[in-house]
Structure 1
Amino acid sequence: MKKYLKYITIIALGTIVLSCDNYVDIKTEGRLIPEETENYRYLLNNSYAFDITYGAVDVASDDISFQNEAQTTALGASDYYRPFTNFYKWSDVLYFDGERDYNMENMYSALYNANIVINEVMKSKNGTEAEKLAIKGEAQIHRAFIFLTLVNTFGKAYDAATSATDPGIVLFTTATVSDDIKRTSVQNAYDIILSDLNDAVNSGLKPVNSGNNVAFPSRAAAYALLARTYLYMRNYPLALENAEKALAIQSTLNNLEDFEFNAFPTRRFDKELILSKWNGYTSFSYAPQILSLSNELINSFDTNDLRYVLFTQPSSNFNSEYTTGRTYAKEGLTGESRNAGPTVPEMMLIKAECLARAGSGNLAMAEINKLRQKRFRAGQYVAMTATDNKDALIKVLAERRRELMGSGGFRWFDLKRLNKEPEFAKTITHAFAGQTFTLAPNSDRYQMPFAPIYFEYAPNLQQNP
């Protein structure tokens, strides 16, 4: 067991909860080996451990603006909110000495369990080969999501010319590690992500999981994450191909008009959700403090847009001292945290962007209008048009920002990839407590620094500059 304890200590994963009493067969060699196939199923059934993402990064994007003086005073005085304000200011140090990055730890904790399943389930007993392969496929989708999220948080945006040498993340692919913990390249991360997802689409998974099972990966989820991965790699033909494969399996949209005066569906009843990945902060009290939206984003909405009507509220609704702006408030409709998992709208947006980039602006706008039609009251919907392919791309990207606002790291990761294109590169400014902070395109601050505590366990872990 010593190797496992070292693994947990090095990454500071905290307590690993194995969730199932059946998972108890610990071999003397120091390896955890549940003999029966069903025990690996039990391990993956701990969906709470896998239903996570790196939620704090949302605060760094240009979607967010702390506009109210009372807000900055409250946030600046709070130890709890200090890491979020450091994200907002793109600080060199996000956490004080001794503080843990629980977003990262939770993801590596889930990775630990995924690696056990991936490496051992095919050798387990009393299960069919088809059952074992599908269980492995689920774990591979979880691992791919973890690596894709972490490499886009801590590594540079994918660039085919430099990613083989750009520092990425620590890539544990087994449940044992060496003493010398180092980051591998961005390319290494993407190689594993693509390998895992391509294996998963052929592993015999259910086409769709929904209801109570929406946190369990499906074949649609594998295609959807392949589409997201290729989008972040700026491989638009393959992003389009996989988005279309995901949509061929799951394509239902919610009509927001149905929920203007009725309860909004929780994720169990959300027909758009392909795979649930919570951002890790479930308290609605988190939203009005941290998810104050920028005027640039708010002003991009038609005020008849039901995403504006339902998902944002005046900041003054949450605190009488907040006199300006609006806040992302979807959490208040569901009582649940924000989702970073793939959805039908995300796939439609990927499809539309790739079509526009391929010179099919009219088809791109047709796809966008299918989505927008479900975002307005029937009597107020007006189809969007574009003058040419470039205009179509600009409008698709603006629609993507509105649809995916405030959650999942989508805007932050989009800023990183779009900075690779001079026409979309953007300088961001954030104001806080009388100071103005500026983030230039392709700045080193797009790679989040690791918390200092981890260098106590991994002295050769390369810090971001």
Structure 2
Amino acid sequence: MKKFLKYIAIAGFGAIVLSCDNYVDIKTEGKLIPEETSNYRYLLNNTYTLDKSYGNVDIPSDDISFQNEAQTTALAASDYYRPFTNLYKWSDVVYFDGETDYDMNSLYNALYNVNIVINEVMKSTNGTAAEKAAIKGEAEVHRAFIFLTLVNTFGKAYDANTSATDPGIVLFTTPTVSDDIKRSSVKDAYDVILGDLNDAVNSGLKPVNSGNNVAFPSRAAAYALLARTYLYMRNYPLALENAEKSLALQSTLNNLEDYEFAAYPSRKLDRELILSKWNGYGTYSYAPQILSLSNELINSFDTNDLRYVLFTQPSSNFNSEYTIGRTYAKEGLTGESRNAGPTVPEMMLIKAECLARAGSGNLAMAEINKLREKRFRAGQYVAMTATDNKDALIKVLAERRRELMGSGGFRWFDLKRLNKEPEFAKTITHVFAGQTFTLAPNSDRYQMPFAPIYFEYAPNLQQNP
């Protein structure tokens, strides 16, 4: 217990004692014995702790636009929303002194639990070698997701030429105690991520998890996160290979026409979902107007596109004073927060992008049309075409933006990696309370600043410039 509390206090990344209590209870209640394999299984059953992501990274992207004066006034006057307005303006400081970054805390809290499993389960008793390996594999998928999310939030986009020296994140791989908390490099983070996922795909995980088990990692999820990782590394051949391996296990799409006049499936019933990862603390569930969408994004939709029809609403639906624009509001259909975990559409989009980059534009468009066909009413669908491979890539990236809008930080992370390519580098402009803010490609503001409170426990933690 003391070790856990010191770990949390020094890092400043998880002052949530709930998991510590759960861990102690698991190891002492009833007839359970501390060293038994079953305890590690129960630790991973704590989906409240593990089914988490980092929600705030959607706000600074070019998908979001606070256009309504009443909306801007309300956000500017609220201490609760101040971190969101600071992110929207790409401020040097997001959180004030003493304020906690709850999304970061939740991820480091989950990390402590999975590190216990990874480091201890293979030495546990009363379990078979296969059971232990699969439990470890699940924990490795969770850890890879945590590190991949954090390094893309706080570190620079992966660049093979500089990643060994680019500051990344605090990279705890054991439930350790250290008074000298420092950031490892971006390369170090990716090395751990790839090691975890390559180990997990061979660990005996179930091929697919769905229903009540969709928050538990599967082999399809491990391959999917490998595909996402290699995409962010701009290693497109390996991203393609792993996306195809994931799709070979799970490839079902929802036909949105089926839900135009029927309840949209919750994540337990969503056949597209490969691994559930809730987007932060659910703030957006209670304030969807935070994600009012930019005109650029909205204007890219065909108004017959059922993603436009079902997943966006006029901003006036949330407040009569909001007379401009549309808002992403999918959670209004399900009552759930946004998901940042891998899905079948994400894998199809990765496959299509990699095919286009490899010179197979026709195959890329075929993959995109397979997805788009499920996003329109049958009588209104028109297949998309491309004039050449470059045009195919442009159209795939535009489709990726529409399909993955408003959740998971996908657009923000895409902007970071695409800024490495001059033809896709983009300057973003946000207007807030009469002021114009501009974000240049590859700006330091693409690395989110750490909340000041963490430097009280980790004085050697390097702040982003």
CA shift at 1:168, angstroms?
Answer: 0.1
Give the Cα–Cα distance (whole angstroms) in 2 for the partners of residues 159 and 34 of structure 1: 43
Displacement after TM superposition at 1:25 (Å): 5.0
Query: Structure 1 CA distance, aligned partners of 2:17 and 2:373?
Result: 45
Counterpart amino acid of 1:24? K
1:34 Cα deviation (Å)? 2.9
1:24 aligns with 2:44: no
- Tell me which residue corresponds to 1:375: 375
* 1:39 correspondence with 2:39: yes
Matched-pair contact (CA < 8 Å) for 2:285–2:335: no
- Measured in 2, the distance between the counterparts of 1:454 and 1:65 equals 30
Give the Cα separation in 2 of the matches to 1:387 and 1:299: 22
Match in the other structure for 2:363: 363
Matched position secondary structure for 1:227? helix
Q: Tell me which residue corresponds to 1:297.
A: 297
Name the SS of the counterpart of 1:171 in structure 2: coil
Describe the SS at the equivalent of 2:99: coil
Aligned ranges 1:55-454 → 2 under 5 Å: 55-282=55-282, 286-454=286-454
Q: Deviations over 1:141-184 (max 9, x none)?
A: 00000000000000000000000000000000000131100001
Q: Please, which runs of 5 or more residues in structure 2 have no aligned partner?
A: none
Letter in 2 for 1:273: L
Does the residue aligned with 1:374 lie in a helix, a strand or coil? helix
Any idea what SS the aligned residue of 2:204 has?
A: coil
Q: CA deviation at 1:283?
A: 5.4
**TM-score, normalization by structure 1:** 0.97
Q: Please give the alpha-carbon distance, in whole angstroms, between the structure 1 residues aligned to 2:166 and 2:235.
A: 18
Distance 1:191 1:284, change over 3 A: closer
Indicate the percent of aligned positions where both proteins have the same amino acid. 86
Amino acid at match of 1:127: G
Given that residues 279 and 337 in structure 1 are in contact (C-alpha distance below 8 angstroms), is that contact kept between their aligned partners in structure 2? yes
Amino acid at match of 1:457: Y
**Aligned amino acid, residue 108 of structure 2:** Y
SS in 2 for 1:122: helix
CA displacement, residues 347-372 of structure 1 (integer Å, 9 cap, x when unaligned) = 00000000000000000000000000
Instruction: For 1:11, give the aligned amino acid.
Output: A
Query: Alpha-carbon deviation of 1:4?
Result: 2.6
Tell me whether 132-141 or 14-23 shows the greater mean CA deviation.
14-23
CA distance in structure 2 between the partners assigned to 1:162 and 1:208 by the alignment: 36
Instruction: Determine if contact 1:212/1:268 at 8 Å carries over to the other structure.
Output: yes
- Residue deviations 1:306-361 (CA, integer Å, cap 9, x gap): 00000000001111100100000001000000000000000000000000000000
Post-superposition offset of 1:37:
0.2
Distance 1:374 1:287, change over 3 A: farther
The question of whether the paired residues in 2 share the 8 Å contact of 1:353 and 1:364 is answered with: yes
Give me the whole-angstrom Cα distance separating, in 2, the residues matched to 1:75 and 1:176: 40
Superposition misfits of 4+ residues, deviation over 4 angstroms: none
- Corresponding position of 2:464: 464
Distance 1:179 1:280 in 2: 28
RMSD (Å), alpha carbons: 1.2
State the AA in 1 paired with 2:407: S
Q: Give how far 1:213 is off.
A: 0.3
Check the 8 A contact 1:37/1:132 in 2, yes or no: yes
Offset of 1:20 from its aligned partner?
A: 6.1
What is the alpha-carbon distance in structure 2 between the residues aligned to residue 189 and residue 60 of structure 1?
A: 23
Give the letter aligned to residue 14 of structure 1: A
Write out per-residue CA displacement over residues 236-282 of structure 1, whole angstroms, 9 at most, x where no aligned residue. 00000000000000000000000000000000000000000001233
Displacement of 1:16: 3.1
Q: Tell me the amino acid that sits aligned with residue 151 of structure 2.
A: V
SS of equivalent to 2:313: strand
Q: Match of 2:448, SS? A: coil
Q: d(CA) in 1 for partners of 2:251 and 2:126?
A: 36
3-state secondary structure, aligned to 1:40: helix
Give the structure 2 partner of residue 14 of structure 1.
15
Distance 1:120 1:126 in 2: 14
Instruction: State the alpha-carbon separation in 2 of the partners of residues 290 and 178 from structure 1.
Output: 38
Query: How far off is 1:11 after superposition?
Result: 2.4
Secondary structure of the 2:452 match is: coil
Structure 2 Cα separation of the partners of residues 308 and 47 of structure 1: 31
Q: Distance in 2 between matches of 1:263 and 1:173?
A: 42
Residues 357/151 of structure 1: CA separation in 2 closer, same or farther (3 Å cut): same
Query: Unaligned 5+ residue runs, structure 1?
Result: 27-32
Moved more, 279-288 or 166-175: 279-288
Does the residue aligned with 1:313 lie in a helix, a strand or coil?
A: strand
Describe the SS at the equivalent of 1:463. coil
Quick one: distance in 1 between partners of 2:269 and 2:371?
19
* Counterparts of 1:447 and 1:167, CA distance in 2: 10
Q: In the aligned structure 1, how far is the partner of 2:285 from the partner of 2:147?
A: 29
CA distance in 1, matches of 2:284, 2:239: 34
For 2:424 and 2:284, the matched residues in 1 are separated by 33
Structure-2 change in CA distance of 1:283 and 1:262 (3 Å): farther
Which is worse superposed, 4-13 or 385-394? 4-13
Give how far 1:14 is off.
1.3
Q: Is the 8 A contact 2:285 2:336 kept in 1?
A: no
How far does residue 17 in structure 1 lie from its aligned partner after superposition?
Answer: 2.2
| Residue-by-residue CA offset, 1:172-210 (whole Å, 9 max, x unaligned) | 000013110000100000000000000000000000000
CA shift in 2, pair 1:332/1:281, >3 Å: farther
Q: How far apart, CA to CA, are the structure 2 residues paired with 1:235 and 1:415?
A: 16
SS at match of 1:373: helix
